[in-house]
Amino acid sequence: MIDQKSDKELAEIHENLQRLQDVINGFVAQWETMDPDPFRLAPAYTEWWAALMSNPQKFIDESMNFWKNSIELSHQAMMDFMTGEPSEPLVEAGRDKRFKHHDWNDQPYFSAIKQSYLLTSQWLRNLVSDVDGLDPHTAEKVQFFTERYIDAMSPSNFALTNPEVIEKTIESHGENLVHGMENMLADLEDGEGKLNIRITDTSAFTLGENVAVTPGKVVFQNRLFQLIQYAPATDKVLKRPLLIVPPWINKFYILDLQPENSFLKWATDQGHTVFVVSWVNPDENYADTEFADYLRDGVMTAVDAVQAATGEEQMNAIGYCIGGTLLASTLAYMKAKGDKRIASVTFFTTMLDFSEPGELGVFIDEEQVQAIEEKMATQGFLKGDSMAGAFNLMRANDLIWSCYVSNYLLGRDPRPFDLLYWNSDSTRMPNAMHSWYLRRLYMENALVKKEVEIDGILLDLSTVDIPVCFVSTVDDHIAPWKSTYMGAGCFGGPVEFILGSSGHIAGIVNPPAANKYSYRVIGGDTLPADSEAFLEQAEERPGSWWNHWNDWVYKASGSELVEARVPGDGALKPIEDAPGTYVRIRMKDSVPTLPFTRLPDPLPTAEPAPPEAPAEALLVPPPAVPAVPEAPQAQPAAAAASKAGATKQAGKKPQPQKPQPKKAPAKKAVSKEAVVDDLTKINGIGPAVRKLLAGEGITSFAQLAAMTPEQIRELLVSKDPRNKRFNPSSWPAQAGELKDD
């Protein structure tokens, strides 16, 4: 038995050593191709050192002061070791959670280590702050990354200088370090050689089972998103449905974590018909997808789909973070086209004016953006962990080093936490879109300068005059509230500004039942001139801002109620249960091929639909070339909304759009012998486009297959300039396949 047991143990040791060797080999292989300076710190610190040495008096003064304090600390430490009792500390740690263990204050050895670290930290901070001759961006970058270096060098991050780790090691006879090494190996394997520190137990959550469980149905899908309509929770609902546009840099279910903190469930409980956009997690086939595609094929198409599902020509909308930036751009685009279907809008932690981006700005300059673009060019997208790493660095002690100590030094397994599970569920960024977003918004601040052009339209936020509500949070590091406040002043209509407590996520996911935090509000629709004036005038109210927002949106909507809408009752039929397919795509997954939803043309209204209106949406195969987005389906709806807006301005009640009789030109009329194929089988061609082509004598797949995309586009635009929104890039290829069938 002893020999058998020994053989088993030897086999396990051999297996573990081989596993460790494989991980090390993977780490070394990755290190060989790893960018040693991804944040381009060398030029920044070179500039800082040159500026500091151009007037060395600051360096001399700070160093002399540091030397003096170090001598005093050494003398004090010697006396403390002799007496066995620590003296009054020279420098206090305050409420720093890293030093909460009693030995940091009670034991002379650890007290001296802590104070030495704090003194050195203060010396480094002083050296990089207020340096003459350094441009503001470089100064901010040097200060930020110096602080991250200080975080990394904390004595709490090392086993031999952390009293809690030493205590745990003695108690467990070293088992904590063994289990910690196992955790580290697992994280290295998961990161394929890169240390991917787990911040929560991801195995404890399953989408649709214990997170993202609010009942609903996917009722629309295309290449960029799935649209989820949630089941009603009340007999009557607000007449205007609610469309929510989350950011595409992470997943929508931040608003639907658990039933008790789900904004989506709470909104249905308040009588809203809730729709949410679930963005795709793009792979290399989306490399050329642009910001304009997210606007046209994303938000505009989602507006069409909500109208198709409910028959309502007006709706309320919410945009979260960069999803709000996209939504604001869409509003300016719709305003220029006379499309009034979004009647009120709310922005959660949304930046529009990027002149003061806060800490996130240290990651965005010409050198770093070029490096990101080079990385994206090779793979077609930016990996989600790159963005997650930047966000985690802004809270390094909470999201990196505390987990490092807990997982690896104390040997604990990560605890399940729904918010951190969501935080670990990263998404990829398409090459073209992300490059445009970084350059045009962050670096050039083009949106508020009225320099963003979509389809020949210069976007002007000041033309947007619908009721607007901003919700920001006081401790937001990603979208600083003072920056969001500047963006709130860009609109031309009434604006409500709500300042919540806490940060970018916890300040938004703050249900009333939790009775946490507070918020500040003035209550009027005219904002003070600047953020400081807002703080002076705002009233602080206890609890969550959710109810205040709900009162605002009901007032902005006229509070008219209708019978509850069940997903599938309208023109869009259920495709699958919420939360859908796209949200389940993880970092290493490719995008699955889904059939696209064809919207009815014309879109239904709340009035009785004309007899010829389609009864339900159809699912059609995706385009033959997956890298090219399907043609936007929003054009007919945008045109209808434009005509409806013009009718309303003339004092007339808008009427549902009805198909117009086809005009057959004498020379181009379709003869009886001509082949007539159903061109709507081509993804991107609806009944309206089919009629236009038929009017030009194009009725068969063969005719369309013989044309080039440029010829089709020229023909469409010659009939109506608004048709340039259509993308016929894949139509000839699809027509060729259908012709051969």
What's the token pair of residue 111?
A: 């007290």
Contact, 604 vs 307, CB < 8 A? yes
d(CA 552, CA 344): 10
User: What does DSSP say about strands 381-382 and 342-348: parallel, antiparallel, or unpaired?
Assistant: unpaired
Question: What are 542's strand-pairing partners?
Answer: 518
d(CA 337, CA 550): 29
Question: What are 381's strand-pairing partners?
Answer: 430
Provide DSSP, 494-511: -EEEEEESS-TTTTTS--
The tally of CA atoms less than 13 A away on the side-chain side of residue 482 is: 11
Phi, psi angle pair for 458, to nearest 5°: -80, 120
Longest Cα–Cα distance in the chain:
110
Question: What are 275's strand-pairing partners?
Answer: 229, 243
d(CA 705, CA 690): 14
d(CA 458, CA 455): 9
Burial class (CB in 10 A: 0-12, 13-18, 19+), 392: middle
Q: Is 403 labeled as catalytic in the residue annotation?
A: no
The tally of CA atoms less than 13 A away on the side-chain side of residue 382 is: 24
d(CA 213, CA 608): 34
Contact, 507 vs 474, CB < 8 A? yes
DSSP three-state, residue 369: helix
Tell me which DSSP letter residue 211 carries.
B
What's the token pair of residue 466?
A: 């619908």
The amino acid sitting at 518 is: S
Closest among 313, 307, 281, 331 to 229, alpha carbons compared: 307
Summary count for the chain: helices (H), strands (E): 26, 19
What's the token pair of residue 344?
A: 């009120």
d(CA 737, CA 741): 6
Q: How many Cβ atoms sit within 10 Å of the Cβ of residue 487?
A: 24
User: CA of 569: how far to CAs of 109, 633, 716, in Å?
Assistant: 71, 21, 34
Q: Out of 321, 403, 469, 490, which one is annotated catalytic?
A: 321
Distance, C-alpha 663 to centroid of its chain: 47
What's the token pair of residue 506?
A: 């916890």
Q: Which sign does the torsion angle of CA 222, 264, 199, 544 carry?
A: positive
Q: Would you name the residues annotated as active-site residues?
A: 321
